[in-house]
Structure 1
Amino acid sequence: MWFQLLFLCFIIIQTDGHRVQENADSDPKASDDAPRIVSPSGSFLGSWMETRRGRRFEAYRGIRYAEPAVGEFRFQPPKLIHHYEDEVDASKEGPACPLPATKVEIDEDCLRINVYTPRSNTTNLLPVIFYIHAGGFYVMTGRSDLAGPHYLLDRDIVLVTINYRLATLGFISTGDAFAPGNNGMKDQVAALRWVQKNIKSFGGDPGLVTITGCSAGSRSVMLHMVSPMSKGLFHRGISMSGSATSKAPVPHHQFHLAQKQAILLNCSHTNTSEEIIACLKSKPYRDLGYSLKGFFDHFNSDPVGLWTAVVEPDFGQERFLTMDPADAIREGKKHSVPYIISQTRNEFFWKALYVVKNESLLKTMNEEWERIAPVSFMLPPGNSSAAVRRLKETYLGDRKLVNDEATADGLGKLYGDAITGFPVHRMANLMCRYSTEKVYYAEFDYIGNHSHYEDPDTKKPIGVAHHDDLIYLFTLSYRFPTIEVSDSDDSQMVDKMIAIWYNFAKYGDPNPHNSKIPELSTLDWPAMTPIDRKYLQLGEHFTVREKLFEDRFQVWEELYPLQY
């Protein structure tokens, strides 16, 4: 059941490292004429890659952007590298941050940045797309096997992907000076600062940076918009299927997770922050990474979410988050930039299928609904008993759960809305009211040849799952084949998605401009407003609709009211 939750993670675990490297280095002559770049921080040796349309571009991978956060620097904010004494070998992948993987190199010295640029094909400075990877803040990486550049680099953009510390190593927060929290987010800030200093040498425009992300990366984008540390480091934002505004305010600490980590690693004293931090500093990073399984409930490997950014108490440190994101948005204490917000049609629907098709899980959920539902649907403490009764009535007609289509549909919508749908709805509605820049809202509604959930019998997609939009933006060689250039619907979707990202990164507006982009010829995407809550349904065609899933989200608004 553990792998059913972390379906992304188990693919990493099973990935053949040799295959990943072969896919990443598309030009066998890369070492013969390897590209080099000299920036204000130092010189870098890269390699050549090729897009799906055969365009050659430069790749600089595995660059340390911050000093290794090891030893006494574990659980400390990152220290940005300002100068490299020797030429940096950036010709191959860097390690992933500690997580439960066996065939991918992991290391605590993992704060690495990758830069992909077509600078040899143009003399102009290009828009920069800065991608923050998904994975719940506890798995995944920015490596090219999980965020391949081979689609986006057909456009004139510079793509940056990063690693940041995960789980306990990146997000431990005890509410005091021992671990104020948010080091994983501060890693992202350090990477953005590195970009500001160096990206011009790679052909990128430091005044035209678009921060993008999916899931945890999407939450990260929103958090940067309200963080005082991120001011001036970016100029547009794209958030896909994740929100920093949800059913309850952001906490000030997660001491319970720090304590849980200490117990999992057999620390003898777990009552105080000082004891916990001292013990965890002595543990091997692999033990921290591989202990992830122990954090999840035995039922359906719930909850999906664990670690989060926190509102940091002030102990004299540079604070990433100083107030709740919803309050910051409403009070105008944010960095307003043009913003695209989206979610997929079905999000976490597949979680329900594991329940209804498993007799034991189905029986347990029926008998212990009031215990299980608050965990599975990540509900705030307080009125959870009343809330889960209301949710069961709304989504399941207050009926007993059985193995049929009606239960699977209702429970699937409940999982999806609880984890992603409603939080994204709340973020879009806040931002369209209080941002001084345009906000564009979208539903990704395309079923192609592959999905992050495929029917185990037919091996075919049956919905638009969480992360499915990424299939048409990045080559995901850890799991899916490259979508070759053709007249297929999948190939056309790749062209549409990268055209939207390119146009938005360049102009701050996804709609067609002076430049002719045929993929966008039928696009007329209105900005969302509080009164006219229109969104783009992005399927085989562009369709403008209104009030995305608001009939379903009404119950959440009543259970967890917020003054918009």
Structure 2
Amino acid sequence: MAKVRISDGVLEGEILDNVIGGKYYSFKGVPYAAPPVGELRFKAPQPVKPWDGIRSATAHGPICCQRDIFFGTVETGSEDCLYLNVYTPSLEPKKPLPVMFWIHGGGFLSGSGNSHTYGPDFLVNQNVVLVTINYRVEVLGFLCLDTEDVPGNAGMKDQVAALRWVQKNIEHFGGDANNVTIFGESAGGASVAYHLVSPMTKGLFKRAIIQSGQNLSQWSRCFEPRLRAEAIARSLGEDTTDDKELYEFFKSQPIDKLVGITAPITVEEELGIRINLILCVTDEKKFGDNERYFYGDVYEKLRNGIHEGVEVMIGYTTHEGAIQFNFLKKEGIFDKYNKYLQCFVPIELLLQCSVKDQMAIGKKVKEHYFGNKKVSIETVDPFIKYITMQILQYDVLQYAKILAKTNTNRLFLYQFDIDTERNKYTDHFKARPYTKGKCVCHCDDLVYLFNDEDVPVNINADSYKMIKNVTKLWTDFAKFGNPTTDGSLGVEWPTFDLERQKFLIIGNELTVAEFPDKEELEFWEQLHQQYLPKK
């Protein structure tokens, strides 16, 4: 066992040996904020109450109440869920170690930082301290009434509280509070992008890695949060628009009623032609002296610059859109794509263009990807290419271009293209037979950074070399701000600029390329330039 004294009391963790990568110290289930229950439901996180004696830190704390968005299962959780985990190779290193702070994905609706999915072995083996966290999700974390009682973004403020905890305590685990890299995937990647412009996070980290996410996509920005809250209340039997009645209603609901809710507020959502995240980050209104996590326009914030001096890595997987394939096939959505041209309209354009323009856009997109063919099992390959650009790739590349234009922060862009037996999510969504055999789905990068208990490690397989490559890229960036600083991987990853737009293809080999998906991107850019007011 291992003991550490932090600001709130003494923790007793464990020393794990005979694990992949060798020995490390593990401290699980560490509270970083008070339980957000009772009158604290929907409120910003409050300080932990210090404890006397020794607190065991050998088991994960409860996860937030939720329904898994990938597998559809209701997970046993608790409102008392604000816990984090710390893994370190040394409690007393000769020199403080770089810290990597992981923010899980799950559409702001599900997920946790637990080691079942996010096992620390691969990263800690590269001599960094790893912190993983839980934060409030779904209604508990992202309900917004646009009122002082429920201004929104509680889940994001949880993440900020955990970052502040790191600044206060990580030295006791051998970590360097002045060298913290935040990283996350999907909604976790979007979270990282928001932290780069939030007034609450300045000075809390030095570097950032945005995996398959950003904050420009519509799915990462809450659409009409107050109307959404009223729709959720109606779905639970309360039809009111009164502020106080809504607040008291949500506060009084048993927790199981606030899990797995669907509350469409548009016909497009009702049709279900794409995955919609009903609760996420919102533009907060000002109430007294309350700290606002985020407010304003995301494009304007990015153009004005992210936090000074923070270095950034950002990227996407080759077949992000495969995440929707199995869902769409099961729901018979292909028929709707063949019937309604509006299904092909990128959601930003759908929300801002006239119906006449939507029909013209839909026709252009359909012809670009499918010619005169129908959307079907036989045309899954172009369908996944379309979905990939629609849900993520276009906005990732726009994010990179806008950030590069400011020319104030070092930026590295990548495409994740590794395909081995470890690609857990490709296998789950059953897209491989329809993508000419190769598929690198949304989330497939995770199993090369973390020891996922569902994906056994074979140290004799080529995939183990891929794990070594990816973790070295990520941890060298965390250590030095340069992911290929020593040349040991046989490639030099250049920074991204507008002139050559160089990026790294992280495949079974590492390759530098330039102008990612140039023709595809130009098609999308022309659509947006033609039909949208300038962003």
Scaled by the length of structure 1, what TM-score is found? 0.85
CA distance in 2, matches of 1:260, 1:385: 28
Aligned residue number for residue 473 of structure 1: 449
Give the deviation of 1:219 after TM superposition: 0.6
Q: Does 1:109 align with 2:75?
A: no
Question: CA contact under 8 A between 1:341 and 1:440: conserved in structure 2?
Answer: yes
CA distance in 2, matches of 1:206, 1:242: 25
Aligned residue number for residue 396 of structure 2: 424
CA distance in 1, matches of 2:223, 2:257: 26
CA distance in 2, matches of 1:179, 1:85: 33
Counterpart residue identity of residue 391, structure 1 = V
CA distance in 1, matches of 2:327, 2:159: 34
Q: Does 1:182 align with 2:144?
A: no
Give the deviation of 1:544 after TM superposition: 0.7
Q: Does 1:68 align with 2:43?
A: no
Mapping of residues 139-538 of structure 1, within 5 Å: 139-246=110-217, 250=221, 253-267=224-238, 269-291=239-261, 297=269, 302-316=274-288, 317-332=290-305, 334-352=307-325, 355=328, 360-370=332-342, 372-373=343-344, 379-383=350-354, 384-397=358-371, 399-404=373-378, 407-451=379-423, 452-454=425-427, 456=430, 462-477=438-453, 479-481=454-456, 483-486=457-460, 488-513=461-486, 518=488, 520=489, 522-538=490-506
Counterpart residue identity of residue 495, structure 2 = A
Question: CA contact under 8 A between 1:168 and 1:261: conserved in structure 2?
Answer: no
Counterpart residue identity of residue 345, structure 1 = T
Question: CA contact under 8 A between 2:217 and 2:391: conserved in structure 1?
Answer: no
CA distance in 1, matches of 2:327, 2:223: 34
Q: Does 1:550 align with 2:514?
A: no
Counterpart residue identity of residue 347, structure 1 = E
Give the deviation of 1:179 after TM superposition: 2.2
Per-residue CA shift, 1:187-242, capped at 9, x if unaligned? 10000000000000011000000000000011111111100100000000000101
Give the deviation of 1:540 after TM superposition: 1.5
Question: CA contact under 8 A between 2:43 and 2:149: conserved in structure 1?
Answer: no
CA distance in 2, matches of 1:459, 1:399: 20
CA distance in 2, matches of 1:300, 1:400: 19
> Do the aligned partners of residues 392 and 86 (structure 1) sit closer, same or farther apart at CA in structure 2, a change above 3 Å counting?
farther
> Do the aligned partners of residues 447 and 52 (structure 1) sit closer, same or farther apart at CA in structure 2, a change above 3 Å counting?
farther
Question: CA contact under 8 A between 2:14 and 2:25: conserved in structure 1?
Answer: yes
Give the deviation of 1:246 after TM superposition: 3.2
Per-residue CA shift, 1:261-318, capped at 9, x if unaligned? 2122222x33233322211111111221243598995656732433221221111210
Q: Does 1:90 align with 2:65?
A: no
CA distance in 1, matches of 2:389, 2:525: 12
Overall identity of the aligned pairs, in %: 32
Per-residue CA shift, 1:302-355, capped at 9, x if unaligned? 324332212211112101113223212212363441111010111123524554
> Do the aligned partners of residues 262 and 551 (structure 1) sit closer, same or farther apart at CA in structure 2, a change above 3 Å counting?
same
CA distance in 2, matches of 1:151, 1:249: 29
Root-mean-square deviation (Å): 2.8
Per-residue CA shift, 1:148-178, capped at 9, x if unaligned? 1011111111000001111111111233334
Question: CA contact under 8 A between 2:206 and 2:311: conserved in structure 1?
Answer: yes
> Do the aligned partners of residues 72 and 180 (structure 1) sit closer, same or farther apart at CA in structure 2, a change above 3 Å counting?
same
Scaled by the length of structure 2, what TM-score is found? 0.89
Q: Does 1:55 align with 2:22?
A: yes
> Do the aligned partners of residues 38 and 215 (structure 1) sit closer, same or farther apart at CA in structure 2, a change above 3 Å counting?
same
Per-residue CA shift, 1:79-131, capped at 9, x if unaligned? 13273344322110111101026685400100111100111573321000000
CA distance in 1, matches of 2:220, 2:506: 31
SS in 2 for 1:211: strand
Question: CA contact under 8 A between 2:321 and 2:387: conserved in structure 1?
Answer: yes
Q: Larger deviation: 155-164 or 249-258? A: 249-258
> Do the aligned partners of residues 51 and 327 (structure 1) sit closer, same or farther apart at CA in structure 2, a change above 3 Å counting?
farther
Counterpart residue identity of residue 279, structure 1 = F
CA distance in 1, matches of 2:386, 2:294: 30
Counterpart residue identity of residue 492, structure 1 = K
SS in 2 for 1:465: coil
Q: Does 1:133 align with 2:100?
A: no
SS in 2 for 1:223: helix
What is the aligned residue count?
Answer: 518
CA distance in 1, matches of 2:296, 2:64: 28
CA distance in 2, matches of 1:457, 1:219: 25
Per-residue CA shift, 1:492-536, capped at 9, x if unaligned? 0100111111111111111223xxx74x2x020000011120000
SS in 1 for 2:67: coil
> Do the aligned partners of residues 298 and 206 (structure 1) sit closer, same or farther apart at CA in structure 2, a change above 3 Å counting?
same
Question: CA contact under 8 A between 2:21 and 2:124: conserved in structure 1?
Answer: no
Give the deviation of 1:257 after TM superposition: 2.1
CA distance in 2, matches of 1:302, 1:51: 44
> Do the aligned partners of residues 103 and 530 (structure 1) sit closer, same or farther apart at CA in structure 2, a change above 3 Å counting?
closer
CA distance in 2, matches of 1:359, 1:501: 38
Question: CA contact under 8 A between 2:103 and 2:183: conserved in structure 1?
Answer: yes
SS in 1 for 2:100: strand
Unpaired stretches in structure 2, ≥5 consecutive residues = none
Give the deviation of 1:48 after TM superposition: 2.6
